[in-house]
Amino acid sequence: MKKQILFALVALLLALPSAQAAKPNFIVVFCDDLGYGDIGPFGSTKHATPVLDKMAREGMKLTDFYSTCSVCTPSRSSLMTGCYPRRVNMHVDEKNLCVLFPAARKGLNPSEITVAEVLKEQGYATMCIGKWHLGDHPDFMPTSQGFDHYFGIPYSNDMNRKQVPLPLVRDLEVIEDSVQRDTTITTQYTTEAVKFIKANSKKPFFLYLPHTAVHLPLVPGKKFKGTSKDGPYGDWVQEIDWSMGELFKTLKAEGIDENTLVLFTSDNGSFREKQGSNLPLRGRKGRTDEGGMRVPCVVRWPGKIPAGTSSGALTSTLDILPTLAAIAGGKTPTDRIIDGKNIWPILSGKSKAHPREAYHYYQMDQLQAVRSGD
Amino acid type, 285: K
* pLDDT < 50 positions in the chain: 1-20
Catalytic residue among 133, 211, 215, 354: 133
Can you give the pLDDT at residue 311? 98
Report the alpha-carbon distance of residue 362 to residue 201 in Å, rounded.
Answer: 39
Instruction: Please give the angle made by the CA atoms of 50, 156 and 109, to the nearest 5 degrees.
Output: 110
- Confirm whether 72 is a catalytic residue: yes
Give dist(CA 117, CA 36) in Å, integer.
30
The residue from 69, 72, 83, 98 that is catalytic is: 72
Global pTM reads: 0.92
Return the CATH number of the domain spanning residue range 25-371: 3.40.720.10
* Alpha-carbon gap, residue 126 to 175, rounded angstroms: 21
Residue 98 known to be catalytic? no
Residue 374 is predicted with a pLDDT of 81
Q: Could you tell me if 201 and 256 are in contact, meaning their C-beta atoms sit under 8 angstroms apart?
A: yes
